[in-house]
Each structure stands twice: as structure tokens, then as C-alpha cells.
């Protein structure tokens, strides 16, 4: 039997390079847009920011995730958007966040210890995904968008 596409959920992970400095104003504006949009679309995930790059996990209904990903790719605030991982899912990893934010700092002891030479452009998709999960588990500062 054909599964209706609206019931297919996916998880997508990409990495990108920030264009210009990653200011608080820029991050706040990205999160505000994510908050407003993702909630209406049933999209959840986490945005990691640091060291001149972003990586982001987006989960939700397949066509909605694709539409959002196309918009994000076209956003001039970053470039070199590389798709690292894409899968169909039964369960979400980040279901409670319309978009959590994790700041990655070079000086962060956890990042140094567990991922000393972490470079998302040379890491594999599963490695970066694990990094995101480690950060969340380690209780890194996560700023929840106000709902």
C-alpha cells in the first residue's frame, strides 16, 4: 500500500560557512525566523553555531523539510551549504525544540576533549550528528526560542 507522503518524516543535517561575523544580532534574527516558521510547520531541530560555521539538524515532514532546506540554502548569511546526512525517521531526536541553539566555542573543554580536531567539513555525517547529540547531553548552553 502506498504510504501518504505527509506521514513520512525525515531528519536532515547540513554544515555551512557563515558569511561575515556571527553576531548575536544575526543569531537572534535567524532564531526568531526559525521560531516563527518551524512551529507552524511541525519542524524541530537544533542549530549549532561557532568558529565561523553553522551546522543544523532539521526534522519534520519530508516536503516541509525540503522546502525549508531550499530556503536556507538560498540565505545569503551563509554559504557552502553541504548536506551531511539525510534519513527517514520514526522518532525525532529534538522533538521538544522548534529550534534549539547550541554555541560551540573553541575553548569549550568538552569540545576539546571529545572532539579535539573537530572540523565539520572533514567529519562524516554520523560524526557530526554524534557531536550534536553529545553537546545536548553535556548540557551545553541551549537557548530555547520563546514559544
Ligand X SMILES: Cc1cc2nc3c(=O)[nH]c(=O)nc-3n(C[C@H](O)[C@H](O)[C@H](O)COP(=O)(O)O)c2cc1C
Report the distance separating Cα 103 and Cα 49, nearest Å: 5
Cβ-in-10-Å burial (0-12, 13-18, 19+) of 131 comes to buried
H helix runs in the chain, sequence order: 24-41, 62-73, 109-114, 125-137
Q: Which is nearer to ligand X, 86 or 114 (CB)?
A: 86
55 near ligand X, judged by CB under 6 A: no
Residues between 17 and 46 with contacts to ligand X, criterion CB under 6 A: 30, 33-34, 37-38
Question: Do 78 and 43 contact (CB within 8 A), yes or no?
Answer: no
Least Cβ distance, residue 130 to ligand X (angstroms): 20
The correct pick among 10, 15, 57, 99 for binding ligand X (CB under 6 A) is 99
DSSP conformation class of 47 = E
**Cell 547550541, residue located:** 102
The correct pick among 72, 100, 104, 132 for binding ligand X (CB under 6 A) is 72
Q: Which is nearer to ligand X, 56 or 140 (CB)?
A: 56
Residues that bind ligand X (CB under 6 A): 30, 33-34, 37-38, 47, 54, 56, 68, 71-72, 75, 77-78, 99
Amino acid at each position: 500500500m502506498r504510504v501518504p507522503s505527509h506521514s513520512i518524516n525525515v531528519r536532515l543535517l547540513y554544515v555551512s560557512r557563515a558569511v561575515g561575523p556571527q553576531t548575536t544580532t544575526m543569531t537572534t534574527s535567524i532564531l526568531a525566523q526559525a521560531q516563527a516558521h518551524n512551529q507552524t510547520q511541525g519542524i524541530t531541530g537544533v542549530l549549532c553555531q561557532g568558529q565561523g560555521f553553522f551546522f543544523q539538524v532539521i526534522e519534520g515532514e519530508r516536503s516541509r523539510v525540503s522546502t525549508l532546506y531550499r530556503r536556507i540554502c538560498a540565505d545569503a548569511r551563509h554559504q557552502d551549504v553541504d548536506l551531511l546526512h539525510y534519513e527517514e525517521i520514526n522518532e525525532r531526536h529534538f522533538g521538544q525544540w522548534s529550534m534549539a541553539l547550541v554555541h560551540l566555542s573553541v575553548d569549550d573543554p568538552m569540545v576539546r576533549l571529545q572532539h579535539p580536531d573537530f572540523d565539520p567539513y572533514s567529519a562524516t555525517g554520523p560524526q557530526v550528528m554524534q557531536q550534536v547529540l553529545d553537546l545536548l547531553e553535556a548540557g551545553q548552553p541551549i537557548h530555547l526560542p520563546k514559544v
